Amino acid sequence: MERSSVWIAGVGAVSSAGSDISSTLDAFANARRNPSNTLPFESSITCPTFQVATALPTLSPALNRSRSLRLAMKAVREAMVEAENKEFDRNARLGVCIGTTVASQLNSIPFYDAYRRDGNPPLESVHDYLRANLAQAIGELLNVSGPRMTIVNACSSGTDAIGVAANWIRAGICDLAVAGGADELNRVAMAGFWSLGVMSSQPCAPFDRDREGLNLGEGAGMLILESASHAHKRNKKHGMEVAGFGAACDGHHLTAPHPEGRGLDAAIRTALSQAGVKPSQIAFINVHGTATTENDRAEGKVIARVFDSHVPLVATKGYTGHTLGAAGGLEAVFTVLGLRKGWIPASVGFENHADDIPVAPVRQRTTIDGEFALSTSLAFGGNNAALLIRRTA
Amino acid sequence: MKSERNNPLPPVSIQSIGAVTPQGRDLQAIGKRLEQPVATTPAVLQVNDEFLSDPAIGSRMRRADRFARMAAVAALDSWAGAKDTCANVPKERIGLIVSSGFGPHCRGFRFIDGILDCGDSDALPTDFSHSVHGAAAAYITELLELRGPSLSTTDFEIGFEQAVLLAQCWLDQQVCDRVLVGAVEEIGEVLVHCASRMLDEKTFVPGEGAVFMMLAPTDAKGLARLEATTEPRDIDLLMLDAPANPSRMARQPLLPTRHTTTFSPYFGHSPSSSAFQLLGGFLSLRAGRPLGRPIQNAAHAPAHLEAVDKVATFKPSCDPRVTSLLITKG
């Protein structure tokens, strides 16, 4: 079956690494990270987090209380400007596909505490939750009525969202799509990951021998995807495209990855075969690299099995923390930036090769050369996704 | 931006349906219940726990909650119904899409109970891992040993419609050879409390349950054909997610149809209502006559139908994107 191109017309990112693309690249170039030991909420848990310090867009009062939505809109607006959205055909159909975790849950502790105490809590947080479904709210803010989907596949949500949006465009359901992920720091998620025993008391060290676990972060990473016909209509030539996408589940365990990375292996091979690309053609991989023992081990085994051991790897959660539903969106943007700039940053936090991981990420800024790069995601529930991006100019 | 003009994808073939609802789990029994008028609608329409155990599950879901169990038994029933037609399909080629509005929120509140009672660092990990939306999908893939793409989605209006649209996409683009697509909602006491304060209880009755269907490409032989669309035409039976009080129905605009019905008094309302309306429509198609509660409307009085060949759900309150699901015989 002939596959039509899905172009990447613009990207936007906000995370602890930077408030936009430019400041993110600056942090990457200088291997600078900003973990914080102060939480934005009260909690008995003490551990580093990666927070967004920049001002976020002010939305209507009804939406402004959703930090995830404001993070998302910050990245969407940056991506839209780069995509030169003012040139979009006014009859174009725009879809919105967003991954998240925190924004999908009614997890207001004050609301529930009040419900338990007197059975008559204020309902403001329930109204907020209902209004701030990310795809629904972003669709309304952008005044569009194309397809929409909020994906809640835990840590692979952002990558899955980009894959789904690419499916829509290839199917002719929409001409353009906003795709990516967004998530905020939240006390419930913090307590949850703590309860699982996968958080580190130190700034995280993905793929490292001494890795202790993950740090939570917040942010948003967004892509504007465009069909070939729409780009042609506005005489636009883009330099990046979504060349392949693969998703596969382990069917193994609710929280742990399959020890041999069965689903990730399948997802990567699907993404490569869609584009007819050999593993040796991959310029670099932006790994999921949560810095948890099991994730990094399983992911490392798969990469060693599928790829030439010399393919450069970059683990970017050392800069952003684990931003959960946003991670796949952010890392897709970072993959685009690597191909665009011709270099990948040092995998900050990684120092020592781990005996149980057969591959290692780069320790310093590394020049890369090639057309294709891959971003991988593993998630709760055994979900795995791989996104293949191609530089065409 | 204009809305999408329509769905350009071919319809898909429904191979099987599995459901667990306030009216039971066996499709034949549910069909019979839908023939009987509902005298009074209770304040909440919940699934009886007796329907949530299954020999195929055994002890493999001992830590799971009602949300995951409802999804699992409906998925298992759909799987059992499609066994013959899926026998030669590799597990890597079977995708899963689970849509929900509220997700496993009851387990989420149980995790917050742990935070409030024991402190942030001592809440139970099992409650946390089951409180994420993808927990139900994880159980289904484990039980059925599925290896294809698995997706959980959330939306408060058109989640199931968009899930069907994506299943059409996946099958048309040969991402998968089969897609198990479903919707699941759980109603807990907090949600019932919120609904009673936020919504008119005369028009809104919270309902729960799960509906799953195995879908195959358009050319596969099956029970019926299904597509997500913007505006279904020439339909025999329109299923509306109607208010519990029929007198309020007259205010809502309707599509041209020969007969309008609702299954809301049987299944209740939820963000996934259209999956349950679709189930009622499918059973009407199978029975050859409209089931459910007929809706009287000045412009569209119920007509006598010789046959029911084409049925559709429709959400009058939503904007004009894909908000309708159309089933045709054959």
Q: Which residues of B touch A381 (CB under 8 A)?
A: 132, 134-135, 137-138, 141, 150, 152
Tell me the pairing of strands B324-329 and B310-314: antiparallel
Q: Is A47 a catalytic residue?
A: no
Name the residue with higher pLDDT: B320 or A186: A186
Interior angle at CA A315, CA A309 and CA A321, nearest 5? 160
Q: Is A174 a catalytic residue?
A: no
| Closest residue of chain A to B194, computed from CA coordinates | A123
Whether A141 has its CB under 8 Å from any CB of chain B: the answer is: no
CB distance A321 to A206 below 8 Å: no
Residue in A90, A92, A123 nearest the CB of B197: A123
Question: Has residue A32 got a pLDDT over 90?
Answer: yes
Q: Which two tokens stand for residue A334?
A: 């970072």
ipTM of this predicted structure: 0.97
pLDDT at B42 (0 to 100): 87
pLDDT at B257 (0 to 100): 74
**Domain B12-222, classified CATH 3.40.47.10, yes or no:** yes
Give the CATH H-level superfamily of domain A6-391: Thiolase/Chalcone synthase (3.40.47.10)
Query: Residue A118: what are its φ and ψ, rounded to 5°?
Result: -125, 5
pLDDT at B319 (0 to 100): 55
Task: Give me the amino acid identity at A323.
Answer: T
The burial class, CB within 10 Å (0-12 / 13-18 / 19+), for B219 is exposed
Least confidently predicted of A56-60, A111-115, A144-148, B76-80: A144-148
Q: What share of chain A is helix, strand, coil (3-state, %, to 5)?
A: 35, 25, 40
Q: Which two tokens stand for residue A178?
A: 């906003």
Measured over the CA atoms of residue A260, residue A263, residue A268 and residue A270, the dihedral's sign is positive
pLDDT at B4 (0 to 100): 40
Residue in B9, B120, B321 nearest the CB of A194: B120
Q: Which residues of A touch B227 (CB under 8 A)?
A: none
Q: What is the mean pLDDT of residues A372-377?
A: 98
Whether A273 has its CB under 8 Å from any CB of chain B: the answer is: no
User: Per-residue confidence at A356, pLDDT binned at 50, 70, 90?
Assistant: very high
Half-sphere exposure of B225 (CA within 13 A, CB side): 15
Tell me the pairing of strands B209-216 and B12-20: antiparallel
Give the tens place of pLDDT for each residue, A328-347: 999 999 999 999 999 999 99
Cβ contact (<8 Å) for B141 and A251? yes
Question: Has residue A302 got a pLDDT over 60?
Answer: yes
Domain segments of chain A: what residues?
A: 6-391
CB distance A368 to A283 below 8 Å: yes
Q: How far apart are CA B134 and CA B80, in angstroms?
A: 22
CB distance A152 to B152 below 8 Å: yes
Alpha carbon B196 to chain centroid distance? Answer: 23
Q: How far apart are CA B156 and CA B273, in angstroms?
A: 10
The burial class, CB within 10 Å (0-12 / 13-18 / 19+), for A36 is middle
For tokens 């947080």, name the residue. A125
Domain segments of chain B: what residues?
A: 12-222, 226-329
- Give Cα separations from A189 to A104, A221, B109, B111 (angstroms): 12, 20, 13, 10
DSSP state at residue A295: H
Q: How far apart are CA B21 and CA B77, in angstroms?
A: 13
Cβ contact (<8 Å) for B116 and A168? no
Residue A123, min C-alpha distance to chain B (Å): 7
Give the tens place of pLDDT for each residue, A241-300: 999 999 999 988 888 889 999 999 999 999 999 999 999 999 999 999 999 999 999 999
pLDDT at B2 (0 to 100): 36
DSSP state at residue B24: B
User: What is the widest separation between alpha-carbon atoms in chain A?
Assistant: 63
Q: How far apart are CA B169 and CA B176, in angstroms?
A: 10
Q: How far apart are CA B281 and CA B310, in angstroms?
A: 9
The residues, any chain, with a CB within 8 Å of residue B83's CB and separated by 6 or more, are none
Query: Residue A249: what are its φ and ψ, rounded to 5°?
Result: -105, 155
pLDDT at A344 (0 to 100): 98
Q: What is the mean pLDDT of residues A26-40?
A: 97
Query: Residue A347: what are its φ and ψ, rounded to 5°?
Result: -85, 85
Active-site position among A97, A155, A204, A249: A155
Tell me the pairing of strands B224-229 and A148-151: unpaired
Give the tens place of pLDDT for each residue, A317-326: 999 999 999 9
CB distance A368 to A312 below 8 Å: yes
Spell out a b/e string for B40-73, using b for 16 or more CB atoms within 10 Å of the CB, else e. ebeebbbbeeebbebeebeeebeebbbbbbbbbb
Q: What is the mean pLDDT of residues A39-46?
A: 94
pLDDT at A253 (0 to 100): 84
pLDDT at B248 (0 to 100): 53
Cβ contact (<8 Å) for A167 and B175? yes
Count the neighbouring beta carbons within 10 Å of the beta carbon of residue A46: 10
CB distance B158 to B322 below 8 Å: yes
Least confidently predicted of A23-32, A136-145, A231-240, A370-379: A136-145
Q: How far apart are CA A149 and CA B254, in angstroms?
A: 26
What is chain B's pLDDT, residue by residue, as a tens digit (330 residues)? 333 445 789 999 999 999 999 999 999 999 999 999 987 878 899 999 999 999 989 889 999 999 999 999 999 999 999 999 898 999 999 999 999 999 999 999 999 999 999 999 999 999 999 999 999 999 999 999 999 999 999 999 999 999 999 999 999 999 999 999 999 999 999 999 999 999 877 778 999 999 999 999 999 999 999 999 887 888 899 888 876 555 555 555 566 777 889 999 999 999 999 999 999 999 999 999 999 998 876 455 556 677 899 999 987 655 556 679 999 997
DSSP state at residue A20: S
Q: Is A252 a catalytic residue?
A: no
Interior angle at CA B147, CA B144 and CA B152, nearest 5? 80
The burial class, CB within 10 Å (0-12 / 13-18 / 19+), for B89 is middle
Give the tens place of pLDDT for each residue, A100-129: 998 899 989 999 999 999 999 999 999 999
